[in-house]
Amino acid sequence: MKDERGHYYYPFPQNKRVRMYVRQGETGVDFRLWNQDDPQLWIEHGWVPHAAITAASAIYQKKGFDPHLAYDIKLARALLTESS
């Protein structure tokens, strides 16, 4: 899907108020979270390279959150490939 911010998917399909935007960055895919209920999130947090998400994944696994589900690299690549 695409809107004025760019290409996105729903990282939590049951919650359409949260979107994960993706773009082709300098070193790979970048991600950026948008939440309709928290507009400041978009302003305060910029684009995050997938490599940084992968590096931080060990921390999140301890907290019961799997970043690979929210930051879905396969889905992101498919979106970007489809759009080009």
Using pLDDT thresholds of 50, 70 and 90, give the confidence band for residue 57. Answer: confident
Q: Are 63 and 52 in contact (CB under 8 A)?
A: no
What pLDDT does 16 receive?
Answer: 96
2 forms bridges with which residues in the sheet?
7
Long-range contacts at 60-65 (CB < 8 A, ≥ 24 apart): none
pLDDT digits (tens, 9 = 90+) for 13-32: 999 999 999 999 999 999 99
